[in-house]
Copies of this chain bind each other. A is one copy, B any other.
Amino acid sequence: MTDLPPADFRERITRSFGRQRAMGLIGAQLTRVEHGTVEIELPFDEKLTQQHGFLHAGVISAALDSACGYAAYTVIDADASILTIEFKVNLMSPGRGDWFLFRGEVTKPGSNIIVADGRAYSITDGPAKLIASMTGTMMVVRGRQDVAG
C-alpha cells in the first residue's frame, strides 16, 4: 500500500466511478473514499430484482466489485489502473431492504496484485444486516491505453 495515497485520489476515483455507466443504471452512488476503503450506496428499486423480488445477486456483485475495485484504486499510483481478475461472492441473506451499503476494503496491497474484501448490508429500520461478502483479486495495470483511469 502506498504510504500516502496520491493527493488527488478522491477526484480520480470519483471521475472514474462517474464513467461506470452500469453504476448509474442501477442507481448506485459513491459515498465514501478513504485510503484503503470505498463505500457505495444503493436505494432498493424493483427494477433490480430477481424472480422472488429480492435484489438480484448480479446487482449485489456489481456494487461490491466496484467498491472493491475502487478500494484498490486508493492504494495505487496515479498513473496506474485496476482490472478485476476474479471474485467470489457469498449471498447470506435475501436482498430485502430500503437501501443497501457496499463497503470494499484492501486486505493485501501489492504492486501487481491487490486483494480486496467487500461486505454488503441491507438497511431498513434498526441495525444494518449483512447480506453478502466478496473477496476479489485485482490486477494493477500500467501503460495500457484501453484501461487507463
Contacts and interface: CB of A to CB of B under 8 A. Distances in A.
B85 A113 contact: yes
A87 B48 CA distance: 19
A115 B133 contact: yes
Contacts of A59: 22, 58, 62
Given A89-B86, A137-B86, A47 B21 contact: yes
Copies of this chain held together in the complex = 4
A38 interface: no
A88 interface: yes
Contacts of A51: 16-17, 19-20, 149
Which among A51, A63, A85, A147 has the greatest number of chain B C-beta atoms within 10 A? A51
12 contacts: A16-B51, A22-B47, A23-B56, A25-B47, A58-B59, A58-B63, A86-B86, A87-B88, A88-B88, A93-B108, A113-B139, A115-B133
